[in-house]
């Protein structure tokens, strides 16, 4: 497995509706971003003003892992650094959502995977984080974002160890999705 794995998530300041649709993710802004580095064995929290340091950490990682970070978080980041090109700048990325979508044939929420695999779900959702941003409760956003990073890390580690993760399907039944995350 890779040397320094960085697990990554961010929360935005605005919704897709606020910026004219999903094609404008780069305009959503960042309230808080959070990472966990296995090389440093620590969490880091970044504000929008600290995006250069966040991008440096991502570029230095051997592997960046997230949940929907390729299609969402990286696009939000590009709104703050037009020179950031994840496909070229980063050594390797693993998006657990993309990988699970290939296996299942449809997208699935992190909460559905975490609840079945780990017996714990998310503590809130992105809409709660937006409300907290409007209320100036940045510490709540940071706690939520770091917890999402922890859940992503735990789901990934479970998949590496067991070769599968569990999820609740649309009918609430527990299912198994085979994953091959050891190879990275």
Q: Give the domain range for residue 82.
A: 5-178
Query: Within its chain, how far is the Cα of 29 from the centroid?
Result: 16
- Name residues whose C-beta falls within 8 Å of residue 10's C-beta, 6 or more positions apart in sequence: 30, 32, 33, 34, 73, 76, 77, 145
Phi, psi of 131 (to 5 degrees): -65, -45
Identify whether 183 is part of a domain.
Answer: no
CATH of the domain at 125: 3.30.420.10
Does any domain span residue 20?
yes
In a domain, 75, yes or no: yes
Summarised one tens digit per residue, pLDDT across range 51-68 is 999 999 999 999 999 999
Give me the number of domains the chain comprises. 1
pTM: 0.91
Give the model's confidence band at 137: pLDDT under 50 very low, under 70 low, under 90 confident, else very high.
Answer: confident
CA distance 4 to 61: 5
Through-space distance between the first and last CA atoms of the chain, rounded to whole angstroms? 5
Read off the pLDDT of each residue in 23-50 and give the average, rounded to a whole number.
94
| Number of other residues whose CB lies within 10 A of the CB of residue 94 | 20
Q: Which residues contact 173 (CB under 8 A, 6 or more apart)?
A: none
Per the CB < 8 A criterion, the answer to whether 29 and 86 are in contact is no
Mean pLDDT, residues 69-81 taken together: 91
Contacts of 6 (CB under 8 A, 6+ apart): 35, 36, 37, 38, 57, 58, 61, 63, 64, 65
Alpha-carbon span 109 to 26, nearest angstrom:
22
81: in domain: yes
* 63: in domain: yes
Cα separation, 166 vs 178, whole angstroms? 9
pLDDT of residue 102: 95
Q: Within a domain: residue 184? A: no
């Amino acid at each position: 497995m890779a040397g320094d794995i960085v697990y990554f998530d961010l929360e935005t300041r605005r919704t897709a509706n606020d910026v004219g649709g999903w094609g404008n993710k780069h305009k959503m802004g960042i309230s808080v971003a959070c990472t966990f580095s296995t090389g440093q064995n620590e969490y880091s929290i970044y504000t929008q003003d600290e995006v250069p340091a966040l991008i440096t950490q991502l570029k230095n990682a051997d592997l960046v892992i997230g949940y929907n970070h390729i299609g969402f978080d990286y696009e939000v980041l590009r709104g703050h650094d037009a020179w950031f090109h994840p496909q070229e700048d980063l050594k390797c990325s693993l998006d657990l959502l993309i990988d699970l979508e290939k296996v299942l044939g449809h997208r699935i929420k992190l909460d559905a995977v975490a609840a079945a695999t780990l017996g714990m779900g998310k503590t809130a959702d992105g809409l709660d984080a937006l409300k907290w941003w409007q209320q100036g409760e940045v510490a709540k956003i940071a706690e939520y974002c770091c917890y999402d990073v922890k859940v992503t890390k735990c789901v990934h580690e479970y998949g590496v160890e067991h070769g599968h993760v569990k999820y609740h399907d649309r009918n609430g039944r527990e299912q198994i999705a085979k994953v091959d995350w050891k190879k990275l």
